[in-house]
Amino acid sequence: MEKVVAVAVGATRPAICSPSLAEVDFRTSVKMSGFFNVSRLRSLQPIKALEESATASVVQESAAISGNNLCQNSTVAKSTNILWHKNSVDKRDRQQLLQQKGCVIWITGLSGSGKSTLACALSQALHWRGKLTYILDGDNCRHGLNRDLSFKAEDRVENIRRIGEVAKLFADAGVICIACLISPYRKDRDACRSMLPEGDFIEVFMDVPLQVCEARDPKGLYKLAREGKVKGFTGIDDPYEPPLNCEIVLKQTGDDCPSPADMVETVVSYLDDNGFLRA
């Protein structure tokens, strides 16, 4: 039976020659409980990614201690004296773990154009391929995150900004985030694009004519808007600004409507061709 040596913190303990960075990190963590297992420390076999992350962490901490590369408190909007804290596990580490690249697929279009249908079908298809996704649906977000916002122009701007910030966090986590919402104003979508690194924001335009969307009217909102019971409805009494340089256009012409499977294949092919489905 293996002999386990438990040593209390602060007491004399057996010397361990040339401990690895992973062992140092392990010792630090077990100090919380007051002892560590020497035999288990000797048997640790840290993976390469962990060693690289630990090395980066030590270098950053050394720089801070020596007075180099110190971050300054900053002011962002109404927040003052805030400091960005850099983590030792970064986006590349998370992407390597998930074997995919984090990004935001932003599906925009009129109500009834099929945004949510595409989002769900796309999420399912990627799930079957072993890829981690998350859908940020416009209506769903208004049940919680944006429940305090109306459909006035200024609240719509804030609605898009908040969802853009959350989508950015998902992408940074290595997740393929699928945002599906009308997002009618071009400048707001462009603002969300600017939050992410170049190429990580994939705008998908559901190019479906207004008359087709109105004929579908899955929520009955076009009828209410025509009757004047819903004000500021996109396409009726509020404008929709189509993208000018989006990555993907899914267009319906006349009665020729692509199937959800065909649309999913178009988006998945784009992701595959651009390296998002591998680390």
From the candidates 53, 111, 123, 183, give the one annotated as an active-site residue. Answer: 183
Determine the residue type at 277: L
Concerning whether 88 is annotated as a catalytic residue, the answer is no
- CB of 110 closer than 8 Å to CB of 256: no
Dihedral angle computed from the Cα positions of residues 244, 105, 122 and 111, in that order, rounded to the nearest 10 degrees: -50
Strands in 88-233 per DSSP E: 103-108, 133-137, 176-180, 201-207
**Residue of 85, 86, 101, 96 whose CA lies nearest to 133:** 101
The three-state secondary structure class of 249 is strand
- CB of 36 closer than 8 Å to CB of 27: yes
Side-chain half-sphere of 89: how many Cα atoms within 13 Å?
Answer: 10
| Two tokens, residue 243 | 């993208």
Residues known to be catalytic: 183
